[in-house]
Amino acid sequence: MKAKLALANGTVFTGESFGAEGETAGEVVFNTSMIGYQEILTDPSYCGQIVTMTYPHIGNYGINPEDVESSKPQVAGFVVREYSKVYSNFRASESLGDYLKRNNVVGIEAIDTRKLTRIIRDAGAMNAVISTTDLDDASLIRKANAFPSMSGLDLAKVVTTKAQYRFSKNGKSDFKYRIVAYDYGIKTNILRKLYERGCDVTVVPASFPADEVLKLDPDGVFLSNGPGDPAAVTYGIDNIKKLIGKKPIFGICLGHQVLALAAGAKTFKMKFGHRGANHPVKNLMNETVEVTSHNHGFAVDPDSLPADYEITHIDLNDNVLEGFRHKSLPLFCVQYHPEASPGPHDSDYLFDDFIKMMADVKVEVR
């Protein structure tokens, strides 16, 4: 079936539909990962976004029930150069196309994704519409321009859990630490990483009050990844302000940005963001370089960071701030994804650093 992708700048691509039929709108972005499309599709940080894969062949290993990062696809739409209808993987249970169709995700293939990526790179991420029902170029462009901008959007409230829950697996009970994890769009592999390190993790909604967190008396507080504009998550910023200095805190992605805003720093929208699994990041604390997984369209302004905080990580491609910590309080965060899924595991040590930070505070309290 014929499908069209229309950008807000007036560019229209004609291709073929795969996945669900219909129409969808969102901010069109690109991801440079060669593999990991299943994890990307189910990452809540992509809520409200139409994801373009720059690697040309997508779908050849199908979909399996184990490699999801949430209960369903979170993307607004999916764009690929060539969708592989034939898949081969002993773990696969269905094709990518069937998975998208079952979950009502509109996709388009057979378009020039290299051209699309260059447009996003040069002009910046912008709104777009994919449709199989309306093929009128002018109509689609109008719809793309009428769709709300990502700036100012609070999407954490859309993807967060509705109720508090405890992450459990295999009936484990010998936990060393108790953690409260704020769910701004948390990925399953983050919970696994904490669980594997002996953490009893209680996941709470994005707006969970700080005083209720303190009543739970955790050993540490984790701030998760998530979608949208961090400055719009005002309730999260207010709650974190009340927790700074009270409990050890570790933040990732949106959690990093919310923590920065709570500390008094500022955030800004990037031109086209970082999305991929091979971004080099320099650890300024030990002068090493890590290859990391990224997914963010906003960043922290390094010049706005208060004097009692210090930058710990920067992106070597564009010098964007990728991590900071407090100089005396037990608090640190990174913009990128140490849990990967997909991506390398160079930054896995950050979870160990969080464990050590909680252990050190426990010793001090004694």
The set of catalytic residues is: 253, 337, 339
CA distances for 361 relative to 1, 249, 328, angstroms: 60, 11, 12
Q: Which two tokens stand for residue 79?
A: 């764009």
Reported in sequence order, the residue ranges of the chain that DSSP labels E, i.e. its strands, are: 2-7, 12-19, 23-31, 49-53, 57-58, 77-79, 82-83, 106-109, 126-131, 165-166, 177-183, 199-205, 220-223, 249-252, 267-283, 288-300, 309-315, 321-326, 331-334
- Residues 199 and 221: their CA atoms lie apart, in Å, by 11
Return d(Cα 124, Cα 111) in angstroms, integer.
19
Cα–Cα distance between 180 and 222 in angstroms, integer?
A: 6
CA distance 186 to 255: 10
Query: Any residues with CB less than 8 A from the CB of 130 and at least 6 apart, and which?
Result: 3, 4, 5, 23, 24, 25, 50, 77, 79, 106, 107, 108
Q: In whole angstroms, give the CA distance from residue 317 to residue 166.
A: 38
- Name the residue with tokens 């321009």: 145
Q: Which of 121, 36, 49, 39 is nearest to 79 (CA)?
A: 49
Distance between CA atoms of residues 230 and 234, nearest Å: 8
Per-residue tokens: 157: 């409230």
The β-bridge relationship of strands 49-53 and 77-79 is parallel
Beta bridge mates, 281: 290, 315
